Amino acid sequence: MISTISFHPFISHFPLALLVGGLVLLFLAHKKGVFDNTGAASFNLSMGFIAALMANFSGMISVDITSRTSVEVLGHQGYSFLATVLFGFCLGWSYIRPFSRTAVLFYATCVLAMLTSIYSGYQLVF
């Protein structure tokens, strides 16, 4: 059985990869002018959102098990929560209006929040 301490680093790579994959597919659909062909991108974002939720919950459990204090982890948890909320907005906009200005704003802020969360997690490891 996989423990939660080793499960969080395993699952936490999927949200970024699926977010980037979904956004690349949206960009390609927009570039080719085929606006009805966004199903694969929305599916990637759906799986990435589920992976982000799993990473958040496994990270909360990992904090309770490890010897780190909650003060050391609060920044990473805050950025991860922000990235997950923005990920949900990106997912919703990818189904409703994937190429609107609001959707592009959510995509950009989600990528920035995800990169900030990754950097803060990197600081926790090293």
Structure letter (DSSP) for residue 67:
S
* SS3 category, 37: coil
8 A C-beta contact, residue 106 and residue 86: yes
In 1-126, which ranges are continuous DSSP H helix? 4-11, 14-32, 39-65, 70-96, 101-125
Average pLDDT, the chain: 89
pTM summary value: 0.88
Range 82-88 average pLDDT = 97
pLDDT band at 1 (very low <50, low <70, confident <90, very high): very low
Within 13 Å of residue 118, how many CA atoms lie on the same side as its CB? 14
